[in-house]
Each structure stands twice: as structure tokens, then as C-alpha cells.
Structure 1
Amino acid sequence: MCVSNNAIELQAYRFSEKIQESSSYNIVRVDFIGGTFLKCDQGISLRDEVQDIANLPLIKNLILQTKSGKQFCVEPDELGLRFAEGELSYRQYLLAKKQKSRQMLYYTFGSTGLFTALAWAFGSYFF
């Protein structure tokens, strides 16, 4: 039985498709990890541009463009989808992304502190 190991790549691809379907913006370019990118023509879906979904590289950013030509860079995730649907302004999107990064740092520091305290308690109890 063959199991797919590219779950993160597929999730980013699915979010990219959702952004393209539910957005009033056009996807102009798709940036992949490693510096490669794919320019998308107007009216052509991402599915048509990418032939082999099984070997899809990780999508890093989507460049969205309004009808007036203004471009926005979003990541293919929940926040990017909310921006594309119009729930968030670009400024709110950037602030939410920054808060999410801070929250992950707090969780990392908190769990590191917890494990350090547990190791100290374990060491002082047995030694």
C-alpha cells in the first residue's frame, strides 16, 4: 500500500485552491520553497498549471493581484484564506500573522521552561 508523505505540501496546495476559488483577487505568481516560482496566467487555475500533484514542491507564498493592479503576498493557510475572502484587511492579516508567530514563541519558551523545571525537580528529588 502506497502512503503519501507530502501532507504539508498537499495542505498548502488545497489552501491555494481555496484561495483561488473564493477570492476576488487573481493569483499572479506562486512561490515555492527553494526559490522557484510559477507565473499564473489570468483565468487559468492552479490545477491546470501544476501537472503532477504527487511531486508538488511546498508552496511558500501566493502573490495576489487586484483588478487595479495592487499586489499582496499571502501564505497558503487559514489567515491567507481569510484575507482572500475579504474577512481581513491586509494590515489585519499581517498583524494576525505576527501574533501567531509570537504565540508560537511563547508556547516554545513555556514548554522549554516546564521541561527544565521538571528536570530540576527530578534531579533534586533523586540526587
Structure 2
Amino acid sequence: MSQLSHLNPEGVAPGNGYSHVVTGPGRWVAIAGQVAFDAEGNLVGENDPAAQARQVFANLERCLAAAGATFAEVVKLNFFVTDIAFLPAVRVARDAYIDTANPPASTAVQVVALFRPDALIEVEAYAVVAD
């Protein structure tokens, strides 16, 4: 069971769908940025940010499971999108996986491009798993 603390310090503007600080004891897990590839390396959802976001979070869930973690232990998500207008689709996909009452710390960045022009979204995750 996770022993994470989600904090929103006084004097810092409230986060919209994220925590400012997440702490907890345990083993650190870093998940590389995931894009919308299926198991065979094919892009899922060409030109469809919602479909890509769903695939990205499914990939993150598989990566977390491989490390013995779940989204309950995720302390930080970093979102890289080629258009900030994709954030609502990313949030819908994210909210299907996280505890929205205690969301992880997050950063969202619009980038000029990802490593492939048809990849619209990349998300990396950090988790702390109790030993």
C-alpha cells in the first residue's frame, strides 16, 4: 500500500488536476517517455490525440506493472504535446488511471516536435513503490 503524501503548500496557487508536491518512502521507479505505439511498434491513432493519449496511458500502465508499481504510486507525470490544445484529451485519458482526489505532481510542455512527426503526445512517469 502506498504511503504517499500529496501536498499543496500555502502561498502556491492551487493546482488544476495535479499536486504541487508528492513525497513518500520506497523504491524509485522512472518510466521513459511513452508514445502511442502498440506492442508491434505501430502508431495508434494517427492524427487523433485522444486515441494516442489512451495508448500512451495503457503503455505507462504496462511499464509500471513491469516495475511492480501502479498508478497509485506515481508521484510525477511529465506531458509533452505538440499542441497544447491536446491537453483536454490527455487529461481524460489520465483521469481514467489516476486518483483524481490525490493526483501526482505534473508538468505539461508544448514542444515543436517529438521524435516522429506523427507522434502527438509523449508522457513520462516517476513512481515511488513501498519496499
Could you tell me the TM-score, scaled by structure 1's length? Answer: 0.25
Could you tell me the TM-score, scaled by structure 2's length? Answer: 0.25
> Greater share of helix residues, 1 or 2?
1
Between structure 1 and structure 2, the one with the greater Rg is 1
Higher relative contact order (CA closer than 8 Å, sequence separation 6+): 2
> Greater share of strand residues, 1 or 2?
2
